Structures are given as structure tokens and as C-alpha cells.
Amino acid sequence: MRLYWEVAVRGFRRYTTYRAATLAGIFTNTIFGFMRAYVMLALFDAVTEVGGYDVADALTYTFLAQGLIMVAYLWGWWDVAITIRSGDVVTDFYRPFDYQAYWLAQDLGRALYHAVARGIPPFVVGMLVFDVRLPLSPLVWVAFLVSIALAATVSFAMRFMVNLSAFWLLDYRGPGRLAAALWTALSGFAVPVAFFPEGIGAVVSLLPFVALFEVPVDIFLERQSGTGAAGALLFQAGWALVLLAAGRWMLAAARRKVVIQGG
Amino acid sequence: MAIITVQDLEKTFAVSRRREGARGLIGRLARETVQVRAVDGISFAVKRGEMVGYIGPNGAGKSTTIKMLTGILVPSGGTVQVMDLDPSRRRIDVARRIGVVFGQRSQLWWDLPLADSFALLRHIYRIPEQRYRANVAQFTELLDLGGFLQTPVRQLSLGQRMRGELTAALLHDPEILYLDEPTIGLDVVAKARIREFLAQLNVDRGVTVLLTTHDMGDIERLCSRMLVIDHGRVIYDGDVQAIKERYGGERTLIVDLEEPGPPIDVPGARVVKVDGPRQWLRFHRTDATAASLVAAVAARARLLDLTIEEPAIEDIVRRIYEGEAAWEASTA
């Protein structure tokens, strides 16, 4: 366990060295937050409620989603694929550790850094300019933080599999693009799933993608409270386990391929 | 006592490729599977504390062998015993007791200071605190790492990084060290320093070293024994000195004369090639010195420029191969 803790600490520290990238990212996420907020304001000029959201919910959702972008890190995480491509993955296979747990630990360290450094500033700026909603109950905050950690885990489990495809495909960015499109459309990042037509929304709500954005946002907005929130966390945890298990299975297949066919 | 024993080792890869001379859409898409024998019946044993040079041209099967020795690849045939374990079945146990350095790959964490990579390795290999501290202190001194322990790896020069890689591979006191081109791309000073370190490591700690390289200097400085493989087979296993005397003693003097002329006749050398004013003279270490030859050439023709070529490993391998084929033909 100690090893994975140390790896997570390094995962966190690794990103602290890129300060300019952090600042540029905060700026971009905040600007897009403003654009999305004005679209929401225009929408709520015409109506007072969409899918159970009022205007304050919609603005809060907007800046939460912008703040959580780098926690989920849906676009452009190729750390594993790059080592597969270069062959450096072989050095990791030499090591006496669990390969998936190693990368999970590293990515959770990264996600924590991004949650703090890239998540809080856009939300605070949004809060200063627009009327957003903050939960009062400390329990809701706790549930929200747990939900973010689970969102990061689900996101890692999916990205890990997309990256592993590099063992079979010369151009891993193809599946990456497909996955990014699914993530953006079905996670509640582009538009809340609550805004979807009812039938479609009900189906999408069962898929793992909503664990990335919709679930933590719903907990924050207290659309899920009490047992509902507990159920939402279980939903995320369940998908996290299923997807991590699928990743292990895929890793075992990749390893077999490498072991039999060579790198 | 053998620490590595390899018996009739084989590795066959299934490579799919487009059918030759295929026509039409289906023909172009259809692929045939070809069996490639990367390692074709290799046997050798390495004693504890030995330093063995493992050489051969690109694609000869060197890396494939090393991957089987480390347990990354499962052999298609034959057996491998490393420290009395079967590496492909006991990969993790073997991993804890070996160190690996690839000159063209890095095992350090790119964005982190060197010291952080070491700290992570300490936890990966569960190195006892005291042992870890003692090793870091010793390697820092031997390899002079002090000046860049806190520098992120991405900012290190190649020479500095290689010193870091060697330390990283040795922190957990491995019994065997596999080195794959550890001096590639380094300048003369950096090469000398790494060779010095490896020689001392072998003496002080008795680490068994299997060294893959294209640099004859690495072998000459470090190894008393050399294994040469080509086309997946061992074509030489024995003394480095003997092979050097037999094949490596020949050097080539290339001279640029002022005017084209007939092959120069000088004692101790023979002209193997003439191209306009340029001539290639091959000579053996025991027959002549480069200086005496240059003087002899200069006495016979006007000399503009000259270079001396040392035999490359590929050259030696080729000559061993030819020699063996000739020997086989003569005894057949």
C-alpha cells in the first residue's frame, strides 16, 4: 500500500511543476464557463425551469462542470499509450508491482491536484460574478467530495482501457476520439442529462458516463439527497469496480499478446 | 555455479504480412502468417560474478534472449533457469533480484527529480531504509550524481541520465545486471566513466553482468568472455582476447594520395580496395604499426590524408561467420 501512496504523491507533485500550464488552463476553463453561463442565462430568459433545473442550478452546474474538466481528464490523457508506443512499457512490466494499481494511484494523485488547482479557481470566479448555489449541509459536501473521487476512478478506468488499445492498434487516437465524443455527449458535461428527452435521459442515466459529471453535480445541487445520494455513490462505485475489472482483463490479454508475440 | 543456464532456447514469432504478388482487393487484404525464428536453439551458461559480452548484429535475437531471461517473453522451446527459477513463471520473484538498463529506454520518471525516482524505486522493491541510504550515498559518490539529484530527469544530459539509470537499476542490490547498450550515444569521457564504474561494481559487489553492445570498446574493457549470436544461433562463445587476436587485430588504413596510381606495395599490409586516388590497406596488429605503414606509404607516394578504421562488431561477426562456414565446408 505504501508504494501506491508514494506513487500518488508523485502523481500530484508531477503536475505542480507545470505552473504556466495550470494558469493557462484556469483562464481557458473560466472563459468557457462564462460563455456557457450566458447561453444558460439566454435559455432561462425564455423558460423558468428545464428538467428540474432553475437558473441558479444551471449556473452552478456550468461552473462545476468547468471545474471538473481536468478531474475527469476526458481529452488527451495518453500517458499509458505513449509508453506502449515507445516500448517503455516493458520497463514497467519488469517491476514487481500491480500495473493497473500503479497507474490508478498516479492518476488519483494527478486528479487531486487538478481538482484543487484547476477546479476551485473557475468555480470561485463564477461564484463572484453569477448567482450560484452552495450546499449548506456538511454531509452534502462530504458526499460531493466522495463522488468526485469516484468520478476520477471511473474516468481512469475508462481511459486506461482506451490507452491499452495501443497494444493492438497502431493509431490509438482513433478509439480515443470515439471515446471523447461519447464522454462529452453522455456524461452530462456538454448539457445536463436532465435536459435530455425523458426516454433517452433514462437510458443514459444508467450508463457509466454519467458517473463522471452528472452524478457529482446532482449531489452538489441536492437533486439527490439522503438515500438518493448514497445510491448515487453506490452507482459510481459499482461502475468503478466493473470498469477496473474490465481493464484488468484487457491488461491480461495485452500481456499475453506481448509475452507470446514480443513487443 | 551457473547463475544463468540456457538450454536449446527457441523463440518463434508469428508475423502476419501481405502476401507477395497479391492481386485484387481480397488478395491485398488477405494476409499470411509467417513463422519467424528469432532465437533458434541457443545454449549457454553464465557463472556467478562473470561479465559476459553478448553481441551480434541488429535483429540477431539479442533482445529477444534478454526478454526471455527476464521473464517478459515465454520461450517457444528449450529451458531457461535464472537463479534456479523459471523466469516466465516466476517473473516477479526474478524481477526483485535483477537490474535492467536499456540505453535507449528510460526507467526514470521524466518529470520528477532523480532523487524522487530513487525514492519510488525504494518502495517498489521494498528496499530496507538503511540499505537504500547506503546505496544512494555510495552510487552518488561513485557516479558523481550530487550535482543533479534534485534536477528533473527531463533536464539531464544523456550522460547524467545514464548514470541515474545505472543507479536506479542497482539500488535493490540485484544479483544480475542486464545492460543493453549502456554507452550508446555517449561521448568518450562519459563512456570511460561508465565502463570504470561497471568494472568496479563487478569487483566490489560480484554482480553478474550480461552486456549487449555494438561498441567493441565496452567489451574489451569489461568482458573476458563473449557470446556472439547471429540469425538466432550462437556462433562464438569464448575468450574475448582470442577472438580479438584472430579477427579484431586487423585494421584498415585508408589513404588519399595526390594522384591515382597502382596499388601500393608496402610490407606488412595488403591493398584490399582502390578507388581513384584512395586506397584501402589492411594490416594486422602483429605485422605492422599504423605509424610504420604511414611512413612506408609516404615514402612511395605523395600522401594527402589518412584515416584508420577499427573493425566494427558487425565486421567481426561477419568474419566469424564466414570463418565458421569455411571451416564447416572444409570438414564436410
Q: Helices then strands (H, E): number in chain A?
A: 12, 0
Min distance B88 CA to chain A CA atoms (Å): 9
pLDDT tens, position by position, B76-101: 999 999 999 999 888 889 999 999 99
Residue B22: predicted pLDDT:
59
- Please report residues of B whose CB lies closer than 8 A to that of A3: 120, 123-124, 126
Asked if residue B64 is part of any domain, the answer here is yes
- A208 pLDDT above the threshold of 90: yes
Using a CB-CB cut-off of 8 Å, the residues of chain B touching A97 are 124
Does residue B128 contact residue B165 with C-beta atoms inside 8 Å? no
pLDDT of residue B331: 47
**Do residues B240 and B254 both lie within one domain?**
no
Query: Which is more confident, B30 or A71?
Result: A71
Question: Any idea which of A14-18, B63-67, B209-213, B283-287 has the lowest mean pLDDT?
Answer: B283-287
Output the pLDDT for position B14.
Answer: 78
* Cα–Cα distance measured from residue B196 to residue B312, given in angstroms and rounded to the nearest whole number: 22
Mean pLDDT of B253-271: 89
| A129, A130, A135, A141 alpha-carbon torsion, rounded to 10° | -50
Task: Output the pLDDT for position B332.
Answer: 43
Map grid coordinates 538503511 to a residue: B130
Q: How many domains, chain A?
A: 1
What CA–CA distance (Å, rounded) separates A251 from A241?
A: 15
B226/B282 same-domain check: no
Domain identity same for B263 and B239:
no
**Cβ–Cβ < 8 Å for B227, B44:** yes
Tracing cell 586506397 back to the chain, one arrives at B279
For B110, which residue in chain A has the nearest alpha carbon? A14
Q: What integer pLDDT is reported at residue B23 of this predicted model?
A: 64
**B265 and B231 in one domain?**
no
Q: State the cell numbers at B211.
A: 552486456
> Which of the pair, B297 or B217, is modelled with greater confidence?
B297
B113 plus B155 within the same structural domain: yes
The DSSP symbol for A172 reads: T
Q: Does B30 touch chain A if contact means CB atoms closer than 8 Å?
A: no
Tell whether B32 is covered by a domain: no
pLDDT of residue A261: 58
Q: Domain check: are B178 and B290 in the same one?
A: no
User: Is B70 near chain A, with CB under 8 Å?
Assistant: yes
Each residue of B165-185: pLDDT tens digit? 999 999 999 999 999 888 888
Residues in Cβ contact with B195 at an 8 Å cutoff, skipping those fewer than 6 apart: B183, B217, B218, B221, B222
Average pLDDT taken over every residue of chain B: 86
How many Å apart are CA B295 and CA A191, to the nearest integer?
A: 85
> What mean pLDDT comes out for the span A250-260?
83
Comparing A181-195, A221-235, B8-22, B97-111, the range with the smallest average pLDDT is B8-22
Same domain, B64 and B191: yes
Report CB contact under 8 Å: A91, B102: yes
At residue B18, the pLDDT reads: 65
Chain B window 37-56: which residues touch A at a Cβ cutoff of 8 Å? 38
pLDDT for B124 beyond 80:
yes
Looking at the domain assignment, is residue A80 inside a domain? Answer: yes
CB contact under 8 A, B116 and A13: yes
Is the pLDDT reported for residue B65 higher than 80? Answer: yes
- Residue pLDDT, tens place only, B318-328: 677 676 555 45
Instruction: Classify residue A115 by its DSSP letter.
Output: I
Chain B nearest C-alpha distance from A259 (Å) = 4
Give how far the C-alpha of residue B118 lies from the chain's centroid of Cα atoms, to the nearest Å.
Answer: 26
Shared domain for B203 and B306, answered yes or no, is: no
In a domain, A263, yes or no: no
**Strand-pair partners of B228:** B55, B236
Residues B237 and B113 in one domain: yes
What number is the average pLDDT over the span A82-88?
Answer: 85
Query: Over 50: is that where the pLDDT of A263 sits?
Result: no
> pLDDT at position A235, please?
97
Closest-CA residue in chain A for B38?
A262
- At residue A172, the pLDDT reads 81
Identify the three-state secondary structure at position A119. helix
Asked whether residue B230 falls in the same domain as residue B89, the answer is yes
Radius of gyration over alpha carbons of chain B, in Å? 24
- Structural domain total, chain B: 2
Per-residue pLDDT at A160? 97
Domain that holds residue B91: 2-8+45-245
CATH number of the domain encompassing residue B92: 3.40.50.300
Q: For B138-170, how does the pLDDT look when each residue is reduced to its tens digit (9 = 90+)?
A: 999 999 999 999 999 999 999 999 999 999 999
Nearest 10 degrees: Cα torsion A49, A52, A54, A60: -140
- Cell numbers of A6, please? 508514494
Question: If you measure CA to CA, which chain A residue comes closest to B97?
Answer: A96
Q: Is residue B90 part of a domain?
A: yes
B72 → closest Cβ in A6, A86, A259: A259
A interface test, pick of B89, B107, B171 with most A CB neighbours within 10 Å: B107
To probe the interface with B, which of A94, A99, A113, A261 has the most B CB atoms within 10 Å? A94
Residue B34 domain flag? no
Assigned domain for A198 exists = yes
B172 and B291: one domain?
A: no
Note whether residue B329 is domain-resident.
Answer: no
B84 occurs within a structural domain: yes
Chain B residues within 8 A of A262 when measuring between CB atoms: 11, 13, 38, 64, 67, 73
B23 touches A at CB < 8 Å: no
Residue A261 included in any domain? no
Q: Which of B212, B245, B278 is the last residue of a domain?
A: B245
pLDDT tops 50 at residue B20: yes
Q: Which residue of B has its CA nearest to A87?
A: B105
Does residue B235 fall inside a structural domain? yes
- Indicate whether B76 and B218 sit together in one domain: yes
Grade residue B27 by pLDDT with cuts at 50, 70 and 90.
low
pLDDT of residue B83: 95
If you average pLDDT over residues A127-136, what whole number do you get? Answer: 94
Q: How confident is the model at residue B198 (pLDDT cuts 50, 70, 90)?
A: very high
pLDDT-based confidence at A204, cuts 50/70/90?
very high
Question: Is the Cβ–Cβ distance between A72 and A212 less than 8 Å?
Answer: yes
Of the pLDDT bands very low, low, confident and very high (cuts 50, 70, 90), residue A69 is very high
Q: What is the mean pLDDT of residues B294-299?
A: 89
| Per-residue model confidence (pLDDT) at position B326 | 55
Residue A21's domain comprises: 2-256
